[in-house]
Amino acid sequence: MECCGPGYASPQAAIEAPREKLLYTIAIYTGTGIQKPDYLATVDVDPDSPTYSQVIHRLEMPGIGDELHHMGWNACSSCHDDGSMSRKYLILPGVRSNKLHIVDTATDPRAPRLHKVIDGAEIKAKADLSGPHTVHCLGSEIIISFLGDAKGEAPGGYLHLNKDFNIVGRWENSMGDIKFGYDFWYQPRHNVMVSSEWAAPNTFMPGFDLEEVGHLKYGRELHFWDFEKREPVESFYLGEDGLLPLEVKFHHNPDSTHGFCGAALSTNVIHWWKDGAGKWQWEKIIDVENEMHPDWPIPLPGVMSAILVSMDDKYLYLNNWLHGDMRQYDITDPHNPKLTGQVFMGGLLNKAPVVNGVEMAGGPQMFQLSLDGRRLYVTTSLFSTWDNQFYPEIREKGGVMVMIDCDPENGGMKINPDFIVDFGKEPNGPSRCHEMRYPGGDCTSDIWL
């Protein structure tokens, strides 16, 4: 089918799309001690450009203290056949302010502009939600996970916006027995959505307290939903193998039932699939060992805060935020992943304290892969209060964006020596970058119906 709406006809068409030339990342001052607004930075990633590897535009938010974190598109490949839709707006939630900033990236992709702000008080009043996190488009509709109710207590729920960014209400019909919210991904051909668990905003916002894990204030379950009925139908208790099950990703192939979750504190990858009898199954497929550290009373966990599946579903990428390494696994056989690449950048093990001349504060945290699977952009900040706790020097040094060259044919990763963006040198002082998106879509937003 000829392209008439946003995105691509298939994952293969996305892989063959033109190379990204611009990248958007959020940058925060919230929690850094600098009283300035968080902003959306445009980074030039065109190697033929004179401003390559530089921030070329900054769109400041109207208020202070948002804590921008994740972001998502108003439209993706899920409405590829709808000529009335276009990937024009990026939705930037403020985790702390509850505001949703709707940013127009299409009028001038190099210099995005603010289109609309949905006030956090309106969301609390109309939907009893706070702590917005993941944004997904479903055709012309938008679903956003919120981690708390208006008072900041779990489990939160899902906000439903229409294509004009008006609040429809809660998306889900029931939260069932779900205790916490976080990330979600869906696979419409199988009528399934999977959601994961972090903690209540009141728990995670002040910082991390290991005792609260023991007190069951952090999640350890995955939830499978009937997508059409908008209600959870089955939950898997992951136990010690699945402490803090954060990011969830299905294969991009819309016919596949295989998916993956990174359990941050256990530092494991959980794999799920539907068996021949139509039952959902799960297993642990990757277990990153804890490392001894002289300053730590317990062995140091990797803290796998994010995972990503390449557009061709061949590779899974993960981070170990505290250890300091990015890893690439061949998941051609999703039951038996093979480690094919590893790169250190920052981290507490001190294996790569300097990258391309920049002192690293923090470790690899958020990452976005190019559609063709050859370039992996990585940032270093997790969440302001957690950064301050584990990497206090990030206050002075700020965040960093690194690019890793990946070999999708044979496997392998190496840091690109010509690219680095040092957010410690920003005009208003050291800021910290987190999630990244390209104007043409990316490996963590596009879903096929």
Percent of the chain, pLDDT > 70? Answer: 99
Q: Write the pLDDT tens digit of every residue in 121-160.
A: 999 999 999 999 999 998 789 999 999 999 999 999 999 9
DSSP per-residue string spanning 18-52: PPP-EEEEEEE-TTTT--S--EEEEEE--TTSTTT
> What's the alpha-carbon Rg for the chain, to the nearest Å?
20
The reported pLDDT for the residue numbered 6 is 81
Strand ranges (E), 65-129 = 72-73, 89-93, 100-104, 113-118
Q: Does 379 score more than 80 pLDDT? A: yes
Domains of the chain plus CATH, in order, are 9-435 (2.130.10.10)
Q: Which of 30, 396, 389 is nearest to 207 (CA)?
A: 389
The reported pLDDT for the residue numbered 2 is 46
Q: Which is it for strands 221-226 and 192-195: parallel, antiparallel or unpaired?
A: antiparallel
Distance CA 333, CA 350 (A): 33
Under DSSP, the state recorded for 99 is: -
- Mean per-residue pLDDT, 308-322: 98
Q: Report the sign of the C-alpha dihedral through residues 401, 17, 8, 55, in that order.
A: positive
Helical H runs in 338-418?
384-390, 394-397
Q: Write the pLDDT tens digit of every residue in 22-53.
A: 999 999 999 999 999 999 999 999 999 999 99
Both structure tokens of 377: 């952009």
Q: Which is it for strands 72-73 and 89-93: parallel, antiparallel or unpaired?
A: antiparallel
Q: Are 329 and 260 in contact (CB under 8 A)?
A: no
The reported pLDDT for the residue numbered 1 is 42
The reported pLDDT for the residue numbered 86 is 86
Both structure tokens of 32: 């850094």
Under DSSP, the state recorded for 388 is: H
Q: Sheet containing 141-148: which strands, arranged edge to edge?
A: 130-138, 141-148, 157-161, 167-170
- Mean per-residue pLDDT, 205-231: 95
Helix (H, G, I), strand (E, B) or coil at 185: strand
List Cβ neighbours of 393 (8 Å cut-off, separation of 6 or more): 361
Both structure tokens of 389: 């706790």
Helix (H, G, I), strand (E, B) or coil at 276: coil
For residue 3, name the pLDDT band (cuts at 50, 70, 90).
Answer: low
The reported pLDDT for the residue numbered 446 is 85
Distance CA 230, CA 125 (A): 22
Q: Which helix (H) or strand (E) holds 387?
A: helix 384-390
The reported pLDDT for the residue numbered 191 is 97
Q: Write the pLDDT tens digit of every residue in 242-272.
A: 999 999 999 999 999 999 999 999 999 999 9
Under DSSP, the state recorded for 4 is: -
Examine residue 155 and say whether the peptide bond preceding it is cis (omega within 30 degrees of 0). Answer: yes
Mean pLDDT rounded to a whole number for the chain: 96
Distance CA 194, CA 214 (A): 25
- Mean per-residue pLDDT, 169-175: 98
